[in-house]
């Protein structure tokens, strides 16, 4: 969607089974973003299309859980950044869930605006960098919940270390290539 100036507008899909919270997220975000809301998984999937840039997804919903909705979104090949926005404390189950960020409710307007902004910014990075950010978010969520004494957490740390090494190698290569790029000079 484009705004009056012809600029591209970010589209956010906020999914929460509590209608009042979905409406609150709409009120928080609609002055900045194009916002769609859904109060169940089926409606969320109907609202989902290639124009959705960010999905804010409740984890625990009746009929279809946030995890199931997330799986469908990824299976359909949508490239939206997804944040789990939930009252459920993170457990080791989140390690293999394909989301980009995890926030525990309640959230303020500033929290929500900041989250969407960060997710939009991350979308500009390459796939491995996005994976690094997602893994770091899972690590932070598990640490905040005190779920660090598990094999899954240790495996997560190993994955972070491997992905970070790949990202650092890529940045080193790009920096070396940039050093040899001829800079054009304009007349003053």
Q: In this structure, are residues 134 and 153 in contact, taking their beta carbons and an 8 Å threshold?
A: no
**Is 2 a domain residue?**
no
**Is 6 a domain residue?**
no
Q: In this structure, are residues 11 and 36 in contact, taking their beta carbons and an 8 Å threshold?
A: yes
Residue 129 has a pLDDT of 85
Whether 112 has a pLDDT exceeding 80, the answer reads: yes
> Smallest Cα–Cα separation from 83: which of 95, 62, 98?
98
> Smallest Cα–Cα separation from 113: which of 40, 9, 33, 15?
33
> Smallest Cα–Cα separation from 157: which of 135, 179, 141?
135
Tokens of residue 59, six digits: 């984890």
**Residue 149 domain boundaries:** 11-179
Q: What is the pLDDT of residues 24-60, one digit of tens each?
A: 999 999 999 999 999 999 999 999 999 999 999 999 9
**Is 131 a domain residue?**
yes
The tally of domains found in the chain comes to 1
**Is 103 a domain residue?**
yes
Tokens of residue 34, six digits: 């194009």
Max CA distance (Å), the chain: 66
**Is 3 a domain residue?**
no
Least confident of 11-15, 83-87, 125-129, 139-143: 125-129
**Is 184 a domain residue?**
no
Confidence of residue 134 (pLDDT cuts 50, 70, 90): very high
**Is 175 a domain residue?**
yes
Tokens of residue 172, six digits: 């080193």
What is the rounded CA–CA span in Å between residue 70 and residue 99?
A: 7
């Amino acid at each position: 969607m484009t705004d009056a100036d012809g600029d591209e507008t970010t589209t956010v899909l906020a999914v929460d089974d509590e209608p009042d919270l979905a409406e609150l997220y709409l009120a928080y975000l609609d002055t900045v973003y194009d916002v769609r809301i859904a109060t169940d998984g089926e409606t969320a999937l109907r609202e989902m299309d290639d124009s959705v840039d960010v999905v804010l997804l409740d984890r625990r919903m009746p009929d279809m859980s946030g995890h199931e909705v997330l799986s469908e979104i990824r299976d359909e090949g949508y490239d939206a950044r997804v944040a789990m926005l939930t009252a459920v404390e993170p457990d080791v189950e989140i390690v293999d869930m394909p989301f980009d960020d995890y926030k525990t409710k309640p959230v303020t307007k500033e929290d929500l605006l900041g989250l969407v902004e960060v997710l939009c910014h991350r979308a500009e990075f390459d796939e491995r960098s996005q994976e690094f950010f997602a893994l770091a978010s899972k690590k932070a969520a598990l640490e905040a919940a005190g779920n660090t004494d598990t094999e899954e957490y240790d495996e997560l740390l190993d994955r972070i270390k491997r992905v970070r090494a790949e990202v650092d190698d890529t940045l080193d290569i790009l920096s070396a290539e940039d050093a040899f790029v001829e800079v054009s000079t304009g007349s003053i």
